[in-house]
Amino acid sequence: MFTALKAGLFYFLVIFIAGSILGIGRNVLLVPWIGEIASVLWEIPVMLFIAWFVSSYVIEKLEVEPTIIARLIMGGVALALLIVGELSLSIYMTYLTSDMSTALYRDTKSILGLLAQITAAFFPLLQSYKRKTFD
C-alpha cells in the first residue's frame, strides 16, 4: 500500500512538471495561432503519451504490486494531487480565488484537460493488462 502511495506521488510529480512545461509552451506558441481549444487538443495526446510511459516506468522501478487496489491507489493519488496542484498553480499565478478557479472547470478546454487527467489516472491499472499480470 505504501509503495502505491509513493508511486502515485512520483507519477504526479513527473506529469505535473511535464504538463506545466507543455502548458507554458502551448499558451505562448500555439494559442495565438490556433486558439485555446485546438491547442489543448494538440497537448492532450502528447501528455497522455508521456503519462503512459511515466506510469510504466514508475510501476517497474518502485515494483508496485500488480493488484487492482494498488494500481487504483497509485492513479487516484496522482489524480488528486494533479487537481490540487493545478488549482493551486492557477490561484498563485493568476491571483484568482478558489471559487473563481473551480469555475474555470466549466469551460471546454478545462473539461478536456480534466478528462485527460482522469484517463491518465487509469494508466497504472491499464499497465497491468498490458503485462497480463493481475493477482
Cβ(85)–Cβ(16) below 8 Å: yes
pTM of the full predicted structure? 0.87
How many CB atoms are located within 10 Å of the residue 93 CB? 8
The tens digit of pLDDT for each residue in 106-124 reads 788 889 999 999 999 999 9
Query: How far apart (Å, rounded) are the C-alpha atoms in residues 64 and 47?
Result: 22
Query: How far apart (Å, rounded) are the C-alpha atoms in residues 77 and 103?
Result: 23
Element at 121 (helix H, strand E): helix 108-121
Region for 95 from its dihedrals, namely left if φ exceeds 0, alpha if ψ lies in -120 to 50, beta otherwise:
left
DSSP class of residue 30 equals: I
The tens digit of pLDDT for each residue in 56-81 reads 999 999 999 999 999 999 999 999 99
